[in-house]
Structure 1
Amino acid sequence: MKNFFLWLFFLYGFISLGQEAQLQGVILDENNVPVVGANISTPTNGTQSNINGFYTLTLPANKITTVKFSYLGLAPMQVQFKLKAGETKEFNPVLKTDVEQIGSVVITGVSRNKVEGITSIEPETIRRIPGANAGVENLLKTLPGVSSNNELSTQYAVRGGNYDENLVYVNGIEVYRPFLIRSGQQEGLSFVNTDLVRNVNFSAGGFQAKYGDKLSSVLDITYRRPTNFGASLDLSMLGASASVEGITKNKKLTAILGLRYRNNSLFVNSKETEVDFNPIFADAQTYLTYQFSKKFSLSFLGNISLNEYRYEPKFKETKFGTIQEAQALQVFYEGQEEDRYITYSAALKADYQLNANFETSFIGSIYNTQEQEYFDILAEYRLGQPNTNIGSDDLGEVEFTEGVGGQLTHARNDLDALIVNFQHKGKITIENSEISYGLKYTHENIRDRIQEYEIIDSAGYSIRPPLEGFENNQPYEAFEAPLAPYYSIRAYNETQINRIQAFAQYSYKTKIKEADFWLNAGLRSHYWQVEGKAIDKQAYNVISPRAQIALKPNWEKDMLFRLSGGFYYQPPFYRELRSETGAVNPKVKAQQAIHIVAGNDYSFKLGKRPFKLITEAYYKNLNDVNPYTLENVRIRYAAQNNAKAYAYGADLRLNGEFVLGTESWVSVGYLKTEENIENRGYISRPTDQRLKFAILFQDYVPNIPKLKLYLNMVYNTGLPGGVPNYADPYVYQVRLDNYHRVDAGFSYVLVDSSKKEKEEGPNWLKSFKDLSIGFEIFNIFDRQNSITNTYVRDVYSKRLYSVPNYLTPRVFNLRMSMRF
């Protein structure tokens, strides 16, 4: 009888055409990692997920069918579906840890993140949270230990490190940044396109050997593999982004494409400087995958980015000082700046699942950046005292001039860099152990021309650089030396760097009495060779051992303890080899840091809502340090290993449902980092940001749940403000004011795909999966934050004034987001 009804069903399907439906998606674990070889079954048929966790299953139409998803070590899931004839439904189940079978799994689900000390961020949260430069980096700045005092920049410092000490991966491919960018407003777009993101994992230190050789952090991004057709569009006064994705009928080829355009005019035109500003920041990214079989797949990641920056300043007025000693700087400009940054990158990755216990991948990538930085800007300034008499008609006007002068800056800088990588990685699972290994070859070819100078004039006198042996006894003695620019660099470098990197690590899980215990131990090796035009060939090698242990006691309270550490080296990249004079020093060695990180995760419920408290304490001992100066986002190294340093601190983050159904968090961090240059004593490093406090908050109006609020608040104590050219940092220690900023977004959701059933509404809304409109307020309290100081000399009093360069004031933005 059963076979008779089956024959009737198939006959009916053949006659009526399309009386079947398709269920498809990606099976994930609690860490959003695809589950390979998971079983998907119904009472009549079944299938398995492939190497990317993707599956497709045929279901009978117009009939309630129970589908079971299962995998060894993960709790099975059963879901009922009733699909229409010809319907294709996407369902991405998340299988959670099966407590009874966890002994056979090395690290699974949330346990993997806890053990490795990794923070995971939901991509949807990234897309919603407002920020002057919204994206992954905008959200990272709300985490403890991560700091940035420039809202227009995507760069960030972690636990006392600088911007060059952070690893960034997208689908296992290392991401590089442009070399010549000086300020945040020139950056434009981050490489990471949030419309394409599936997973975001971040480690602030003590990371495993499988990651590369940097001193501070790892940001590991995974782009998603589409399971159906979809599209998105985001429009605002700052630009636009669009994406489209799809999959072929045979489920083998998937493709996703993202396009972005950004214009910083809204911010730049609202600053204190009057400018003509015409930037073009645009990029295109694509991620393609082809599934040849259940064991073998090929993927391609491509990116083209164009940043054109034309900046023509007109006038600037900055008031600073106190009410008792108010000062004002007025600057009149001539000239302009024209910069261009064009980058191309492409990567091909092959994944092969030899068997259930062995998987490998091969990656080849190429990155090319072509950069130019051209400017000629004449700035004529007037330094004086403004009228502070309240009620006066001339309140704020400069009445008494203390100094006048001029400054001419010139640059014709060009850089062309080509970086090629070949990499092989593998992972072997044996019962409750896991072995990972990798081998990577990198070739870097950089051609760099530097030609820039600065001429300073004060009250008719050209100021020479105060170099050793310089004397000026005017008017008593005639000064007959030729005029010289105050600051000048001329250099041309052709540099090649070849690198071979290898790593191996071992992970193991067991029990100590009734407690779960995890161990990870690994070793990295990095060999590099520097050569080039007029450069003596140099070669170096470093070995980096690292280890992590974690213990989860069998307590009533859900707590996990971590301890990690090791030797972390940062072999120099080209920028670290180039000194302030523009010359390349191939003898620069790798900077070394010894990390010790102790952490605790405590999960609990408060008012029946889930919360997690994460605390970490860390210490870094740094040797062979390469000192640097930081101006806005430009880093200039001494190209010498003539310093040692340390950093220590503690981070705390409490996240959970402060409002039912939404995730928010509060971050607190303390940091102290100092360096000792040539044994002269310890002074603050440029990233010595002592206190950090941040809040990310999501809420909705109880009676109007479609009206949502997103709040992003950051408070940082002031950074060292840098030193003027030729000044001794040991006698010139000035800090910037504290940085605090609050951005808010208000959104009204017209269509929400997370709702199980679509609400009634106009017919035109039915074509959207998601649709929201809203507005954003950046810097709600109009706080005058500063990023650097401009140093102005008063020829009469011989004083040197530090004039703050302020960041963006309060700005309003309109935004519309939609998904199809």
Structure 2
Amino acid sequence: MRKRLLLLFVLLLTLTGLKAQPLVKVTGRVTNELQQPLAEVTVRILGQDQSALSDDKGNYTIYATNTSFILKYALLGYKQVLVSISHDKAGRLIQNVTLTESSNELEQVTITSRQNQLSNSTTINISGIGAMPSPSGNFEAILKTLPGVSTNNELSAQYSVRGGNFDENLVYVNDIEISRPILIRNGQQEGLSFINSDLLSNAKFSAGGFESRYGDKLSSVLDVKYGRPDSSQTVLTAGLNGASLSTKMLRQNSFLLAGLRYKNNTGVLSSQENKGSYRPNFTDAQLIYQQQLSPKLSLNFMGSFNNGSFKLIPQSRQTEFGTLSRTIRLDVDYEGKEVDDYRTLGGAITTLYAPRPNLVIKWINSYFNSRERENIDIQGAYFLSEMSPDPGDPEPRPSERLTGVGGYFTFANNKLRSQHLSSELKGDQTFNDHTFSWGLRFEHKNYRDDLSEYSVIDSAGIRRFYGGPVIEAENKLGIQYYSAYLQDSYRLSAYTDLQLGIRGNYNSLSDQLLFSPRLLLAYRPSGNHKIFRWSAGVYQQAPDYRSIRDFQGILNLNQKAQRSYNTSAGMDYAFDGLGTRLKFSTEAYFKYQDRLIPYMMDNVRIRYLAGEQAKGYTYGADFSIGGEFVKDLVSHFRLSLMKAVQNIAGDQEGYLKRPTDQRLNFSAYFQDRLLNSPTYKVHLNVLYGSALPVGAPSSDRYTDDFHIPAYKRIDIGFSKDFLDDASPGKSRLLDKYFSSFALYAEVFNLLNIDNTVSYLWLKDLNNVQYAIPNYLSGRRFNLKLIIKFKNSK
């Protein structure tokens, strides 16, 4: 009897305690930014031991023992979300949450989500971009370390992907396609690329096999997002090459991102062999504002202004080239100057409407206006001398007899205005195991081009025009593009996903209606550490102004779209090794192009043989491995092998190497800490690209009978954050105002290697033509300071 009374007493105490701590049942759904469900999201109530996981549809249920508590949502690869709950009484509560992708989470060594599985893209670790030593300072510097990407110019933001040229790459910022300047001839004239690294929330890059939601280009996609920040923050960067200031302001229903940048390459360019007065000045301003008008409707505005000015008054040049047995020296005296400038002004308004939890609709409207000008009036008198060794002098000296003497003159007065207007409607909707995506897009491009240029070379009394006769042209062109896509991502089984899509496009220039089907199959076996992918698709690039303009400025209005049939097979494998978590990725690919527009590369200028047509093929394989070899510091290594050839119709030459046929590419980005002082870090960037084919200047045919030597470069940087948590003693003054105070010391081109970007073609007294290399930048030292201000309370 006593035992029964004791049991009843304990039961009454328990019930009394439960009444004193009322239960709140929380249910909800966790989705990503596209309102797609996220599975295996961990939901915790801070201060309680219990937790819950979301299911395949993103649904979860969890119980709280208090009416006021904090919910924490976490999934690897996404930013953690904390939600404060204050409920009046016990009962039920619905709490839906959207998670955004995190650049700080090491997604490149993680294989978790279905979204990763059904994407042929690499997530870029943007948190370490500021630490990467790069003379350009542009975001694209990190792209040049990725699998499939080739480069041979550290001054340029241009890059080649799997045998394609820069015009074949798509670049999106917040779903808005970005255009680039057309008239730029060399990397010296390039300034700030459109992407502001300080404003990024995440970035993805696909070297091929990308899905139908992306546009009609042949090679690659860079998809960048300026999204909602985690918190308000202001960052100041100042160095010998320029400065930037960015601010992020976060409110409950809105956020603001703003960035100002300035760049001056005078110090970098002064290390080149062309001596003179360099005045390169580049400025950029961007503003992003988003307002949540209601739980279902938001409005986003993006505005940008990009301005570049390059002025050069050359004085002299001295270049040595040749072989070990025979060295030639070129001396040039200059007169005249070059003044180039460009300006791009534009903006976009995006309306996002989510009428239901499983449906998101975006309406994107953008307008960009660009003006580019070239003014070149330079003449040079040159002398070619053969260097011969003196038996009594170990150093070579110029011989007394000149082997060549002459002069050349370059003139250009070119103006190009372009306008780009677009409107796009796109949607994403989820039904059980299906995710449907669709889009409709209209674009109007308008060009006005005034060309006036010529070059003359007088070599030993033999006068000839370089690049054809005097170019005088006035072109006006308007092109309309209409495109649409439909895509379905379908879960075939617990381990297999299939993505089917098709794009249709029509343009008023070639008057073609084109259809491009695409497929991606992904298999992830149990264990969640491997993904196998296979993709196939048709990629068709409609003609644009640059591809239809030939060397003389004449437009080929009959040009048809370029077309490529692509297939690839790859694998991602995550494993534990070397004391850390590593990810190994590999992909083999083959591309057959039955319709190509051949072109030549002149420094960074792409010169199309607009009246010609070619076919070709490209195949290769990419390998990469990366991870945290040192805690909190990501390093990665990659190797790319490739062959790219083409056969121009009617030239009787057969298959020749394409200008981007770089057979071998290797890159390594390694970061470490000093053993005795872990707050000191080292950042090493190594690039190697094998020789590139090039032909002697010609306006009527393409050749590959010469080559640019292999590109070899090592940049190194050292950094210290004086407010690092591992610092033994922090400055109270710095800690009062700043959350980070990091100093960087960098050495560009550590080994001082002379890398060639192009050639100047001259003749000697015997009418022998020489290819005089135009070298890139030499060794250069740089200091940089990155300061993050503390938020004002």
- Please say whether Structure 1 and Structure 2 have the same fold, judged by a TM-score greater than 0.5: yes
SS in structure 2 of the partner of residue 267 of structure 1 = helix
Work out the CA distance in 1 between the residues paired with 2:77 and 2:606.
47
Q: 1:789 to 1:190 in 2, by over 3 A?
A: same
Q: Does 1:120 align with 2:89?
A: no
1:271 equivalent to 2:272? Answer yes
Conserved? CA contact 2:714–2:751, under 8 Å: yes
Amino acid at match of 2:769: L
Matched, 1:546 2:547: no
Identify the residue that residue 100 of structure 1 maps to in structure 2. none
Amino acid at match of 1:125: G
- Partner Cα separation in structure 2 for residue 704 and residue 368 of structure 1: 51
Aligned CA distance change for structure 1 residues 819 and 722 (closer, same or farther; 3 Å): farther
Query: In the alignment, is residue 158 of structure 1 matched against residue 148 of structure 2?
Result: no
Per the alignment, residue 438 of structure 1 pairs with: 439
Q: Distance in 2 between matches of 1:387 and 1:393?
A: 11
Distance 2:728 2:690 in 1: 47
Aligned residue type for 1:687: T
Does structure 2 retain, via aligned residues, the 8 Å contact 1:238–1:263?
yes
**Would the aligned equivalents of 1:200 and 1:222 in 2 still touch at CA under 8 Å?**
yes
| Alpha carbons 2:517, 2:537 under 8 Å: kept | yes
Q: Which residue is equivalent to 1:186? A: 189
Distance in structure 2 (CA, Å) of the matches to 1:525 and 1:573? 17
- Percent identity, aligned pairs only? 37
- Say if 1:757 and 1:607 are closer, same or farther in 2 by CA, change over 3 A: same
Task: Find the partner of 1:723 among 682, 690, 696.
Answer: 696
CA displacement at 1:112 relative to structure 2: 2.0
Counterpart residue number, 1:649: 620
Aligned counterpart, 1:477? none
1:500 aligned to which of 458, 482, 485: 482
**What TM-score do you get using the length of structure 1 for normalisation?**
0.84
Q: Give yes or no for contact 2:483–2:506 (8 Å, CA) kept in 1.
A: yes
Q: How do 1:201-600 and structure 2 match up within 5 A?
A: 201-248=204-251, 251-389=252-390, 392=393, 395-397=396-398, 399-463=400-464, 487-511=469-493, 516-530=495-509, 538-554=510-526, 558-600=529-571
In the TM superposition, what is the alpha-carbon distance from 1:196 to its structure 2 partner? 0.2
Shift of 1:662: 2.0
1:460 Cα deviation after fit:
3.5
- Following superposition, the deviation at residue 253 of structure 1 comes to 2.8
Distance, in Å, in 2 between the alignment partners of 1:70 and 1:565 is: 37
After alignment, is 622-631 or 755-764 more displaced? 755-764
Greater mean alpha carbon deviation, residues 174-183 or residues 224-233: 224-233
Letter aligned with residue 782 of structure 1: N
User: Can you list the C-alpha shifts for 1:636-689, whole angstroms capped at 9, x where unaligned?
Assistant: 111135210110000000111222332111100001000001153000000000
- Of 810, 813, 820, the residue aligned with 2:779 is 810
Q: Is the 8 A contact 1:275 1:315 kept in 2?
A: yes
Counterpart of 2:706 in 1: which secondary structure? coil
Describe the shift of the 1:453–1:359 C-alpha distance in structure 2 as closer, same or farther (beyond 3 A): same
Local SS of the residue matching 1:657: strand
CA contact (8 A) 1:624 1:641 kept: no
Preserved contact between residue 32 and residue 199 of structure 1 (Cα < 8 Å): no
Amino acid of the structure 2 residue aligned with 1:725: S
Question: What is the Cα deviation at residue 32 of structure 1?
Answer: 13
1:395/1:500 Cα in 2 relative to 1: closer, same or farther (>3 Å)? same
Partners of 1:290 and 1:78 lie apart in 2 by 20
1:704 aligned counterpart, secondary structure: coil
Distance 1:92 1:252, change over 3 A: closer
Which whole-Å CA distance do the structure 2 matches of 1:594 and 1:319 have between them?
45
Closer/same/farther in 2, CA of residues 777 and 111 from structure 1, 3 Å limit: farther
Deviation at 1:34, TM superposition (A): 11
**What is the deviation of 1:35?**
7.7
Cα contact 2:743–2:784 (8 A) shared by 1: yes
SS at match of 2:559: coil
SS state at 2:393 partner: coil
Alignment partner of 1:761 out of 728, 731, 741: 731
Distance 1:257 1:422 in 2: 24
Q: Which secondary structure does the structure 1 equivalent of 2:736 belong to? A: helix
Matched-pair contact (CA < 8 Å) for 1:30–1:108: no
Answer yes or no: is 1:173 the counterpart of 2:142: no
Q: Write the distance in 1 (CA, Å) between the matches of 2:69 and 2:506.
A: 55
What residue number does 2:788 align with?
Answer: 819
The residue aligned with 1:704 is 677
Check 1:394–1:301 CA distance in 2 against 1; reply closer, same or farther (3 A cut): same
Secondary structure of residue in 2 paired with 1:584: coil
SS in 2 for 1:751: coil
CA distance in 2, matches of 1:492, 1:540: 26
Q: Secondary structure at the match of 2:708?
A: coil
Give the equivalent residue in structure 2 for 1:778: 748
**Gap change, CA 1:331 and 1:606, over 3 Å in 2:** same
Question: What is the aligned partner in structure 2 of residue 734 from structure 1?
Answer: 706
Q: How many residues align?
A: 730
Corresponding position of 2:198: 195
Aligned mate of 1:610, from 569, 575, 581 = 581
CA 1:390–1:714: 2 relative to 1, 3 Å: farther
Note closer, same or farther for the CA distance 1:739–1:759 as it changes in structure 2 (3 Å cut).
same
CA contact (8 A) 1:64 1:81 kept: no
8 A Cα contact 1:387 1:399, kept in partner: no
- 1:261/1:280 contact within 8 Å kept: yes
AA aligned to 2:608 is Y
Contact 1:626-1:642 within 8 A present in 2 as well: yes
CA–CA separation in structure 2 for the residues paired with 1:751 and 1:547:
49
Choose the corresponding residue for 1:792, options 762, 781, 784.
762
Alignment partners' CA distance in 1, 2:514 and 2:304: 32
Tell me if structure 1 keeps the 8 A contact 2:76–2:112: no
1:757 is displaced (CA, Å) by: 11
Is contact 1:205-1:216 (8 Å) kept? yes
| RMSD of aligned alpha carbons | 3.3
Structure 2 residue matching 1:802: 3-state secondary structure: strand
Partner of 2:547: helix, strand, or coil? helix
Alpha carbons 2:111, 2:529 under 8 Å: kept: no
